[in-house]
Structure 1
Amino acid sequence: MTLQLQLKDYRLTTAEILYHLPDHPQILQSFVWQDYDLAPDFPTLRRFLDFWRRSLDGKLHSVKVASNKLIQPASVRMPEAYLTLH
């Protein structure tokens, strides 16, 4: 299933969601969400955040998103130095 999504240009997306605790709004709590999503619009993440706003008590503070394409051309890096250890 995940390979099929990756072939359709879905990327593994991780979001760090900071939200205010309902009983102590001055305290922030962190929640990490991860799923396959389409960059740069992130429709799956947007649906999750809409669900959060509608259904959960903790008010959102901020969301940091990281995404990486898993299927990509191979890359070759040449070393900058060779070291020999005895």
Structure 2
Amino acid sequence: MSLEWMGYVAATCTTLSFVPQAVKTIRSRDTSGISLWMYVVFTFGIACWFGYGIFLESWPMIVSNAITFLLSSTILGLKLKHG
């Protein structure tokens, strides 16, 4: 039996857990409590996970990391713009 369903559950949980923080930051534009270097490394790591998902042809990894990359790069951009 394939455990690919577990990948979908994990991808959904980790991506959805990131959404409230992203929405709050995007709405408020307040990035004072966010570490710039953490978001640089995190966003780079998500891009690597996305590439690895493409290599493995794993749709749970591809979709979840594409969404998380968009959210984290938006927050990183806000951090760079607003400090």
TM-score (norm 2): 0.29
TM-score (norm 1): 0.29
Select the structure with the greater relative contact order (CA < 8 A; seq sep ≥ 6): 2
**Which one has the largest radius of gyration?**
1
| More helix per residue | 2
| More strand per residue | 1
